[in-house]
Chain A
Amino acid sequence: MSADTNGQPRIGVYVCHCGTNIAATVDVEAVAEYAAGLPGVTVSKTYKYMCSDPGQELIKEDILANQLDRVIVAACSPSLHEATFRRATAAGGINPYYFHMVSIRELDSWVHTDIVEATAKAKDLIRAAIHRVRFHKPLERARVNVNPAVMVVGGGIAGIHAALTLANAGKKVYLVEREPSIGGHMAQFDKTFPTLDCAACILTPKMTEVGQHPNITLWTMAEVDKVDGYVGNYQVTVRHKPRFIIEEACVGCMECIEVCVFRRGKTPDEFNLGLNMRKPVYIPFPQAVPQVVVIDQDACIEFRTGRCKKTCVEVCAERNAIDFTQTETFDTVEVGAIVVATGFKTFDPRRTPSYGYGVYPNVYTAMEIERLVNASGPTEGHVTLRDGRTPETVGIVHCVGSRDVNTNEHCSRVCCMYSLKLAHLVKEKTGAEIYNFYIDIRAPGKGMEEFYNRVAEEGVHFIRGKVADVYPEAGNTGRVVLQAEDTLLGRVRKIPVDMVVLATGLEAQADADEVRRTFNITCGGGGFFMERHPKLAPVSTFTDGIFLAGCCQGPKDIPDTVAQAGAAAAEALALVDKGFVEMEPNTAYVVTEECSGCKTCIPLCPYTAISRVDGKAYINPVLCKGCGTCVAACPSGSIRQNLFEDEEIYEEILGVLANA
């Protein structure tokens, strides 16, 4: 190992108390005192909050006063404040990469209880840093231009709001939605809690605006196939599923639907959760955007037999919008940032068989009731049972697939409130007696408790208890009995009802894992996409330039979804509007004289950054993302990595073990 120590360094060590977060478990004074005695350490101090302005100022002043040329801060995780302290180091007039951060909070004080052991650990970690920084070199961040366009994936209310915000700021937006229309779950609702305003009235204008916006390219029936590139310069390949309709030619007159050889629909209507049937040619719902029909290949006679009369084609002769020959096509576009807004799916209540969903016809999911209460739904807003009767008693079961270790541990956040909404709407429409079976009523947020009080005053019944069983009432009444232990009365209640509504929880999309891999982002608990930091970077991900909005990040209501979508749009805008990004200088490079030209490294690089130039390996710094795989593999040790030089890592190893 060659040692380039850049002469004798002058190191400043700063140990943060973080209030008592660190100081209660790590003897910070002892640590600082210990560090002061190690070679090269010029100043060693503790401070209450290193990240505060005075803390940063301290670094800056010490650099100037003591000619420090290395800075170490032992505090929280580098994922939190590395950037802060690099800036402070630069403010003192030295290269920011002379800084190194040591986590003694997340990695130490927060996970240990014994002050002796935690203090010893902090000393080891700081000693490793003192060893390491001697080998630090000044580095420059490369500037890369940013493509100003943004892609938004998912056209629910989150994607719609993000796309409009960006488009209104003058940015080119590609909105990719996999269904034939945008709108997401919100398009299926009649009213929205807590204000009970009409969902269509607030959503439709936004959908129309998306469809007409000059800056938005809307791709429905499309999915992202592949993402290449890096922050500021992503190449996204989008797969378009065939619609069998030429979108530009179709005016949405729907005459083809009328004349289709199917007199009545025979395919369960997805938008209405199969509560009615649709034809093979259909429009998902009246306000769909784009206002274009779609042909379902699996249901269409022409596709199945090739011998249909094609009355649809005849009636569309003038516009000639129907095209049975369409196939999957691909588009590749360049964007600087991506907002992922792929939403959620609802829990499948068949997974908890005791509720009888799929067994008793009058057990419904909340989503089905949303469609039944909807004026443009399959029953035109009449809440009727499958046999046509109007229910006189309705039981609403909260927390189905939420707050249950056997299904999902999390609270889905919206079910209490939408249950109250449905209680109100069903009562209003049928006059039925409504029983809400709840564990706790969760009504945080603006207007929510008031909404709960309002519904309670309307005479809706509340029974505090988890429904244990649903079974048919004796005597063929068609009713089912909800059995629950009423924890307020301390006895078992059995309530026969005509209709059961299961308040199913919100879950991550079934394909969240694949989507996450496509975008190189992470899933947290429950499969929802993980934000970079729950408080400080709630819409960012660990991949720069990829942002999150809406329920794909976790269950939330529409107001929070829209707020988050605005935040994601703002973050994306801040990135692309600046015009350039600075890359972390952790790229690998080849020491050409040492390279034997063995080519071991070339196939290892996932980004094909390595090529052979004049018989030696060459790493293109723009393509290298700094994983370090080639560095570890080079048999002659001729590949190095900035910020993670072999010497730096060996010194860390020696440093942590110096006391062993």
Chain B
Amino acid sequence: MDKPAAPATADGWEPKIVAFFCNWCTYLAADLAGTSRMKYAPNTRVIRVMCSGRVDPQFVLEALAHGADGVLIGGCHPGDCHYQSGNYKALRRFRLLKRMLLAFGIEDERVRLEWISAAEADKLRDVVNEMVAQVKALGPARLGTPPEDWAVGLEEEADEEVEGVTV
């Protein structure tokens, strides 16, 4: 289980995965994976944000547009966000983003939102390994530059979408 994902494919292509981890849970899980000397696939590049709620869908698109083959967003479990509810906001934004990404032809496995608590280093390792394997199977991502105004109205729509959902 501790083995990193399979080595490079025949042509030497390795997927690159940009990861946005919240400071209080998933980033700490990554720290713990480190102090526990767990081994996982070397394909992620972590960008720390204070909360998964900070992750603007535009970040994900930028990453894909600039050559990321996958994007992983990591936050605290529902109810555990250090800022009470940022992860719920992340989730509803994520749902809309996913719908749009599918329309752009970005496969489901490429963009993931995962709740990984500070104690779940093993989950972090498993999610990364699984995702790397899946993205490897899909091959490189191809996303052209998204239209300038794609995000306009996203937040309003998000509001309508989750009307009545208690956070």
- Residues of chain A having any CB pair with chain B under 8 Å: 77-79, 103, 105-108, 110-114, 117-118, 120-121, 124-125, 128, 517, 520, 522-525, 530, 542-543, 586, 600, 604, 606-607, 625-629, 631-635, 641, 644, 646, 649-650, 652-654, 656-657, 660
With A542-B28, A629-B53 in contact, is A106–B34 under 8 Å at CB?
Answer: yes
A514 to chain B, nearest CB (A): 10
- Please provide the 7 A-B residue pairs with the shortest distance between their CB atoms, ordered closest to farther: A106-B34, A628-B54, A660-B67, A629-B53, A627-B83, A656-B45, A110-B34
Find the A residue at minimum CB distance from B68. A657
Q: Is the CB of B33 within 8 A of A522?
A: no
Q: What separation, in Å, do the CA atoms of A111 and B31 have in the docked complex?
A: 10
A128 touches B45 (CB 8 A): yes
Chain B residues near A604: list those with CB within 8 A: 89
Q: B118 an interface residue at 8 Å Cβ cutoff?
A: yes
Sample (28) of A-B pairs whose CB atoms are under 8 Å apart: A105-B34, A107-B30, A107-B34, A110-B34, A111-B34, A111-B39, A111-B42, A111-B125, A113-B39, A114-B4, A520-B82, A522-B25, A627-B51, A627-B82, A628-B49, A628-B51, A628-B54, A631-B56, A632-B55, A632-B89, A641-B50, A644-B49, A649-B47, A652-B47, A656-B16, A656-B18, A657-B45, A657-B68
Contact between B153 and A635 (Cβ–Cβ < 8 Å)? yes
Query: In the assembled complex, which residues on chain B have CB atoms less than 8 Å from the CB atom of A125?
Result: 45-46
What residues of chain A lie closer than 8 Å to B80, measured between beta carbons? Answer: 517, 522
Whether the pair B66, A653 counts as a contact (CB closer than 8 A) is yes
Check if B93 is an interface residue, CB within 8 A of chain A: yes
Asked if B155 CB lies within 8 Å of chain A CBs, one says: yes
Q: Would you call A525 and B119 a contact (CB within 8 A)?
A: yes
Tell me which residues across on chain A come within 8 A of B42, comparing CB atoms.
Answer: 108, 111-112, 114, 117-118, 120-121
A628-B50 in contact given A106-B35, A657-B66 (Cβ < 8 Å):
yes
Choice from A108, A606, A654 contacting B66 with Cβ under 8 Å: A654
| Residues of chain B contacted by A120 (CB below 8 angstroms) | 42
Partner pick for A653 among B39, B63, B83, CB 8 A cutoff: B63
Chain B positions 1-54 with a Cβ under 8 Å from a chain A Cβ: 4, 14, 16, 18, 24-25, 27-28, 30-31, 33-35, 37-40, 42, 45-51, 53-54
| Closest Cβ neighbor of A650 among chain B residues | B62
Interface residue total, chain B, C-beta cutoff 8 A: 58
Contact A629 B86 (CB under 8 A): yes
- Counting CB contacts under 8 A, is B138 at the interface? no
Q: Do residues A626 and B50 form an inter-chain contact, with CB atoms below 8 A? A: yes
Taking the closest CB of chain B, its distance from the CB of A115, in whole angstroms, is 11
Structural contact, A522 and B49, CB atoms closer than 8 A: no
B100 at the interface (CB under 8 A from A): no
- Chain B's closest residue to A113 (CB) is B39
The verdict on B134 contacting chain A, using a C-beta distance below 8 Å, is: no
> Is the CB of B156 closer than 8 A to any CB of chain A?
yes
A52 and B154 alpha carbons, distance in the complex (Å): 48
Question: Measuring CB to CB, which residues of chain B are less than 8 angstroms from any residue of chain A?
Answer: 4, 14, 16, 18, 24-25, 27-28, 30-31, 33-35, 37-40, 42, 45-51, 53-57, 59, 62-63, 66-68, 79-86, 89-90, 93, 117-119, 125, 151-156, 159
The docked-state distance in angstroms from the alpha carbon of A654 to that of B50 is 19
B33 with A111: CB separation less than 8 A:
yes
Q: Are B45 and A106 in contact (CB under 8 A)?
A: no
Q: Are B28 and A79 in contact (CB under 8 A)?
A: yes
User: Is A653 within 8 A of B59, CB to CB?
Assistant: yes
**Quick one: closest B residue to A656, CB to CB?**
B45
Q: Which residue of B lies closest to A646 (CB)?
A: B56
List of A residues within 8 angstroms of B27 by Cβ: 79
Determine the residue in chain B with the shortest Cβ distance to A125.
B45
Please tell me which one of the listed residues A114, A530, A657 contacts residue B118 in the complex, with CB atoms under 8 A apart.
A530
**B119 and A625 form a contact (CB under 8 A):** no
Residues from chain B with Cβ under 8 Å of A607 in the complex: 83
Q: Given A522-B118, A530-B119, answer yes or no on A128-B54 (Cβ-Cβ < 8 Å).
A: no
Shortest beta-carbon distance from B132 to chain A in Å: 12
Check if B34 sits within 8 Å of A523, measured CB to CB. no
Q: Which residue of B lies closest to A634 (CB)?
A: B155
- B33→A106 contact, CB < 8 A: yes
- Distance of A245 Cα from B116 Cα, bound (Å): 47
Q: Which residues on the A side are within 8 Å of B47 (C-beta)?
A: 128, 649, 652-653, 656
- Residues from chain A with a CB closer than 8 A to the CB of B53 are 627-629, 632
> In the complex the two chains form, what is the Cα distance from A117 to B4 in whole Å?
12
Residues of chain A with a CB closer than 8 A to B79's CB: 517
Q: Is the CB of B40 within 8 A of A649?
A: no
Smallest CB gap from A117: residue in B = B42
Q: Are B31 and A77 in contact (CB under 8 A)?
A: yes
- In the bound complex, do residue B155 and residue A633 qualify as a contact, i.e. CB atoms below 8 Å apart? yes
Find B35's partner among A110, A629, A631, A649 (CB 8 Å cutoff): A110
Give the distance to chain A from B163, nearest Cβ to Cβ, in Å: 12
Contact in complex: B62, A632 (CB < 8 Å): no
* Min C-beta distance of B81 to chain A, whole Å: 8
Most buried by B among A110, A113, A120, A634: A110
Q: A522-B80, A649-B59 are in contact. List 4 more A-B contacts (CB 8 A).
A: A517-B80, A635-B151, A657-B18, A657-B66
CB distance from A343 to the nearest CB of B (A): 20
The residue of chain A having its C-beta at the shortest distance from the C-beta of B40 within the complex is A111
Residue among B18, B28, B42, B152 with the most chain A CB within 10 A?
A: B42
Contacts of A112 in B (CB 8 A): 4, 39-40, 42
Q: CA separation between A111 and B89, bound complex, in Å? A: 31
Q: Which B residue's beta carbon lies closest to that of A525?
A: B119
| B49 smallest CB distance to A (angstroms) | 6
Most chain A CB atoms below 10 A, which of B16, B46, B117, B118 = B46
The distance in angstroms between the C-alpha atoms of A652 and B16, with both chains bound, is 14
Name the A residues within 8 Å of B46 (CB-CB).
103, 107, 125
Residue of B24, B35, B125, B154 with most chain A CB atoms under a 10 A cut-off: B35
State in angstroms the CA–CA spacing of A650 and B86 once bound together.
Answer: 20
Q: Is the CB of B18 within 8 A of A111?
A: no
Which residues in B have their C-beta under 8 angstroms from that of A530?
118-119
Q: How far is the CA of A268 from the CA of B159 in the complex (A)?
A: 53
CB-contact partner of A657 in B16, B34, B82, B83, under 8 A: B16
Q: In angstroms, how far is the closest chain A Cβ from the Cβ of B34? A: 3
* Closest Cβ–Cβ distance, residue A615 to chain B (whole Å): 19
CB distance from B5 to the nearest CB of A (A): 11
B15 to chain A, nearest CB (A): 9
A606 touches B119 (CB 8 A): no
B81: chain A residues within 8 A (beta carbon): 627
B62–A600 CB distance below 8 A: no
Taking a contact as CB atoms under 8 Å apart, the answer to whether B30 and A106 are in contact is yes
With A111-B34, A114-B42, A656-B47 given, is the CB distance from A606 to B63 under 8 Å? no
Which of B38, B54, B63 is A631 in contact with, Cβ under 8 Å? Answer: B54
Asked if A635 and B156 make an inter-chain contact with CB atoms under 8 angstroms apart, the answer reads yes
* A504 shortest CB reach to chain B, Å: 23
Q: How many angstroms between the C-alpha atoms of A625 and B50 in the bound complex?
A: 10
Complex: A650 Cα to B81 Cα, angstroms: 24
Q: Which residue of A lies closest to B17 (CB)?
A: A656
Give chain A residues whose Cβ lies under 8 Å from the Cβ of B154: 635
| Cβ contact within 8 Å between A110 and B37 | yes
B18 neighbours in A (Cβ, 8 Å): 653, 656-657
Q: A632-B54, A644-B50, A646-B56 known; A606 and B84 CB under 8 Å?
A: yes
Pairwise interchain contact B24-A586, C-beta atoms closer than 8 A = no
Which of chain B's residues have a CB closer than 8 A to the CB of A649?
Answer: 47, 49, 59
Name the residue among A543, A586, A632, A650 with the largest chain B CB count within 10 angstroms.
Answer: A632
